[in-house]
Chain A
C-alpha cells in the first residue's frame, strides 16, 4: 500500500490497518513451509528440491505471463504465487514428472486464480484444485509413492501410505509418523515439521488457530467415536479406549491432514471471516474428511473436504455474520416490515 504518498488520506472505513502486508504474510507462510521442505529433501532425496523449484518457478512464471498478456499490474511481489507453488509441490509424490507438475501450476495459477480475478477472488485454494486436477488426470503418477530412499537399506521401494496400511489393520509406529519416514507426497509425511510450521504461523498470528484446532480436533473425536462404535459392546469400547485414542492420533498424522489443516484450510480468501464461521468450517472439514476416508473408495479425504468447504465459504460467511454491538435480535426484520 502506498500509504505515504498522500499525507492526508480520506478513505472509507476500515481506518485501522494491519501492520502486515500481503508480502509479509506470504513470506511468513514460506518460512513456515521451509522446515518441511528440508525434511522432505532429507527423506526423499534431492529430487524434491528440483520438483519444488519447478512448481514455484512455473507458478510465478505463469502469473507474470498472464498479467503481461492481460495488461494487469504484476502481483509477483506479494509472494502468493510462491506459496501456491510450494504447497502444490508438497501435494505431489516425489517421483512426479516435472512437466506434469508444470501443468498443475498452470491450472492453479491461471485457471483457478487469475481467471476468477486474481488474488482474493479465487473460488478455492489454487494449489488444492491443481492437486485435484492432477489426481484426476494423472492418477497413476500421483499415487506412485516411493519409500524414503535414505531409510530401509534400498534405494526406493513402493510403499503403502499410513492410511493404506491402516485400511489393512496395521499401524505404522509413531516415530515414523512424526519423522515422516514413510510413503506419501512430498510435504505431508513429516508431521513434526508441519506442526512446527503451523505453530510458527499461529505464534506470529499469520493464521488463526481456530480452523486447524477444530479441523484436527473434530477429526480426532469423530474417528475415536467411530472406532469405539465398531468395538461391539460398550465395555469393550471403554476397555480399548487408550488404543483407540492412540490410533486416532496416528490417523491425524496420516495423509495430507496436517498439511491441509495448517496451510491449506487457513487460506484467507477461501476460509470464513468470523469465529463462528471458522468453527463451522473446521468441523465441516473434519466430518467430510473422515466420511470420505472411512466410507469412500477414493483416498482423497482432505482434498475433497477442502474443496467442498471452500465452495461453502461464502454461505458460511453470510450465515455466521457478527452482530454489531447493541443490535437486538429480530428487531431489524420487524422495522423493515413496518416500513414496507
Chain B
C-alpha cells in the first residue's frame, strides 16, 4: 500500500512539474510588470508623460465637471468675500460706511456690490409668469429658447407646493432655488408668481432691481389680468409686457 502511494506521488510530481514551472514563471512576469508600473507611477516625469499623451481625453472627461465646480465655488466665494467686506466696513469705518451707504443709496448701489457686480454681473436667462393655483404657465420671457416651458412651470409649482407644505410656516413662500451655477428667484404675488432664472453672481442690487421690475409689471400691466382662461391671447399680452420690461435692460 505504501509502495503504491509512493508511485502515485512520483507520477503526480512528473506530470505537474511543467505546470508548476509555468505558473512560477508567469507569477514572476506579473510581479515584475507590477513593479515596473509602480515605478512609472511614482516617477513624476513618466507620469506627466502619460498625462501629456492623453491630454485631450482627460480634458474631455474632467473639464465640464471642474468647470461647473469652479464656477459655483467662485460664485460662493465672492458672496463670502462681499459679506466680509461689508462686515469689516461696518466695524472699522462705521461712520464712513454709513456715509457711503447713504451716498450709494441715492445712487441705488452698495459699495461692495458695485465693485463686484461691475466685474461679475449675473445674467437673466428666463422669466416665467405662473398661475399660483394651477401651476400653469401664463407667459415667459426667454431670450434663449428652452424645451417645454410649460413642463418647467408645472414642476416649479409642484416643488414650491412641496416645500411650502413640508415646512408649513404661515405666510411664508419659497423664494429661491439653486442648481449648479443657476439661481431661480421666485417673486410671489397674490394670484401668480414670477420665476426668474439667473446665472452668475446675484447681488442685492440685482435682486432689488428685479423686485422693482416685478412690482412695476404687476402694478401697471399684469395686476388686472383675468386668469379664468389661460390662453394664447393672455400669453401674448403678458409676453409683450415682459419683453418691454426685460429685453433692453438685461442682455
Q: Do A and B come from one complex?
A: no
Measured CB to CB, the residues of B under 8 A from A are: none
Measured CB to CB, the residues of A under 8 A from B are: none
